[in-house]
């Protein structure tokens, strides 16, 4: 098996694993979260295993998978433009780190929910702490998405230049992740949640992952940028 196809299949498989892990963990977490912090604590207390599994998937599959993905992407495009590849790598590592830290906020809701169930609904202090932890989880999720958008634009720009994947896929990736990252910036700045703007990114990652697993990477056709 030649190197481009071999590397591409590893890249595609990792992308699919990260995609599935992210979707499942987020779905499990959001199924327990409510507009009311008290209701959220009650939901978690009744379903602690769900949140434990969600946080384990986010930490061990999604966050670790993102780091592996960063290494594979860097190996794919580093010769095209080492500076941009290094910047993209750094943004992706920041993305994984922020996601892992924010996930700990959700994980800490498990013991807190058990304390809340024992103390009863009169424990305003526990509700205040839970509200802070939930905000850390949600805020971190959006911030990690900003780094995801920046890194994605850089990665797929380098893919476009090198033609390692079809250019229509690279353009789709640049637009999709750019819009998704921008929607997170909008939410952080204004509170406007345009969550549906992330859907094209999910579809793109699924298509790209399947493409890479079946087709692999093409040899780079564009010479590296002079001076890098």
Is residue 228 pLDDT above 50, yes or no?
Answer: no
State how many domains the chain has.
Answer: 1
Distance between CA atoms of 77 and 87, rounded to whole angstroms? Answer: 12
Residue 167 lies in a domain: no
- Judge whether 153 lies within some domain: no
- pLDDT (tens digit per residue) in 188-215: 988 888 888 889 999 999 999 999 999 9
Question: Residue 219: pLDDT band by 50, 70, 90 thresholds?
Answer: confident
The confidence score (pLDDT) of residue 20 equals 95
Please check whether residue 198 lies inside any domain of the structure: no
Q: Is 165 helix (H, G, I), strand (E, B) or coil?
A: coil
84 in a domain, yes or no? yes
Q: Helices 109-119 and 124-162: crossing angle, nearest 10°?
A: 160
pTM of the full predicted structure?
Answer: 0.89
> pLDDT digit string (tens) for 48-97?
999 999 999 999 999 999 999 999 999 999 999 999 999 999 999 999 99
Q: Is residue 196 part of a domain?
A: no
Cβ-based neighbour number of residue 175 at 10 Å: 15
**Residue 16 reports pLDDT greater than 80:** yes
Do the beta carbons of residue 204 and residue 176 sit within 8 Å?
yes
Evaluate whether residue 95 is within a structural domain.
yes
pLDDT of residue 123: 79
Determine phi and psi for 172, rounding to 5 degrees: -55, -45
pLDDT, averaged across the chain: 91
The pLDDT of residue 125 is 86
In a domain, 223, yes or no: no
Using one digit for the tens of pLDDT, what is the confidence trace for 164-173?
999 999 999 9
- pLDDT range class, residue 226, cuts 50, 70, 90: very low
Q: Is residue 185 part of a domain?
A: no
Domain region containing 19? 3-140+205-215
Confidence (pLDDT) at 25: 94
pLDDT in tens, 138-193: 999 999 999 999 999 999 999 999 999 999 999 999 999 999 999 999 999 888 88
**What phi, psi does 99 have (nearest 5°)?**
-60, -45
Q: Is 222 helix (H, G, I), strand (E, B) or coil?
A: coil
């Amino acid at each position: 098996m030649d190197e481009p196809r071999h590397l591409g299949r590893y890249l595609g498989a990792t992308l699919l694993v990260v995609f599935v892990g992210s979707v499942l963990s987020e779905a499990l977490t959001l199924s327990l979260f409510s507009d009311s912090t008290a209701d959220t604590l009650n939901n978690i207390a009744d379903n602690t295993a769900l949140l434990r599994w969600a946080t384990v998937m986010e930490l061990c599959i999604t966050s670790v998978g993102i780091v592996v993905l960063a290494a594979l992407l860097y190996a794919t495009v580093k010769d095209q433009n080492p500076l941009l590849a290094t910047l993209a790598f750094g943004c992706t590592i920041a993305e994984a780190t922020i996601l892992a830290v924010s996930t700990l906020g959700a994980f800490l809701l498990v013991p807190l929910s058990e304390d809340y169930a024992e103390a009863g609904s009169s424990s305003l202090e526990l509700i205040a702490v839970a509200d802070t932890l939930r905000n850390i989880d949600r805020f971190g999720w959006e911030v990690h998405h900003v780094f995801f958008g920046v890194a994605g634009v850089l990665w797929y720009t380098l893919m476009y230049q090198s033609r390692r994947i079809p250019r229509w896929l690279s353009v789709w990736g640049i637009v999709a992740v750019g819009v998704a990252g921008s929607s997170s910036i909008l939410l952080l700045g204004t509170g406007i949640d345009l969550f549906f703007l992330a859907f094209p990114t999910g579809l793109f990652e699924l298509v790209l992952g399947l493409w890479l697993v079946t087709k692999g990477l093409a040899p780079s056709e564009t010479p590296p940028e002079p001076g890098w």
